[in-house]
Copies of this chain bind each other. A is one copy, B any other.
Amino acid sequence: MNDFLTLNKQLCFAVYETAGEFNKLYTSVLQPFELTYPQYLVLLSLWEKDEVTMKELGAKLNLGTGTLTPMISRMEANGWLRKERSKEDERKVFIYLKTKARIEQPHITKRVAEEINLCKIERDEYEQLMKNLNGLHRKLKERLKSAGA
């Protein structure tokens, strides 16, 4: 007599494999721009609000410096943005988008929108998922915080 839920009934696995599919879908769209999926998320954040510190960007994307520092360095090497250490507080590093990111934005946005449209996700389905995922995300975050993790 098994007392485990099957893999297919685990919410964590549903999120895990959906995240994996999103990764594959975006990777295929972004490859011609020589961007990875997480780098695209960085650009999304910076297109919305440029000139932020590494700390602020990390908080926005929920990523530690172990992930963010090498990623930003790669994006700088590829000409998307530049880093500049603050004169006022030398602990802080500011991120600035370069013109390449500005120029490519409409192209990238258009291609991504086309691809997402082709998935035929209904608007109410989208909104309900957003609402439910945000609720779930909040609960997980609160549980992690109160566990002292």
B18 with A133: CB separation less than 8 A:
yes
Q: Digit string of A113-149 for contact with B (CB within 8 Å is 1, else 0)?
A: 0010011110001101110111111011101100101
A47 at the binding interface (Cβ < 8 Å): yes
C-alpha gap A38/B104 in the complex (Å) = 35
A87 at the binding interface (Cβ < 8 Å): no
C-alpha gap A39/B144 in the complex (Å) = 20
Chain B hits for A120, CB < 8 A: 139
A133 with B2: CB separation less than 8 A:
no
Chain A: interface residue total (CB-CB under 8 A): 57
How many Å from the CB of A4 to the closest CB on chain B? 5
Q: Digit string of A10-50 for contact with B (CB within 8 Å is 1, else 0)?
A: 11111111111110111010000000000001001101100
C-alpha gap A81/B130 in the complex (Å) = 38
C-alpha gap A29/B83 in the complex (Å) = 37
21 contacts between A and B (CB under 8 A): A2-B48, A4-B105, A7-B60, A11-B129, A11-B133, A12-B22, A14-B133, A14-B137, A17-B61, A17-B137, A20-B62, A21-B62, A21-B140, A24-B140, A25-B144, A28-B149, A115-B143, A119-B143, A121-B136, A129-B136, A132-B132
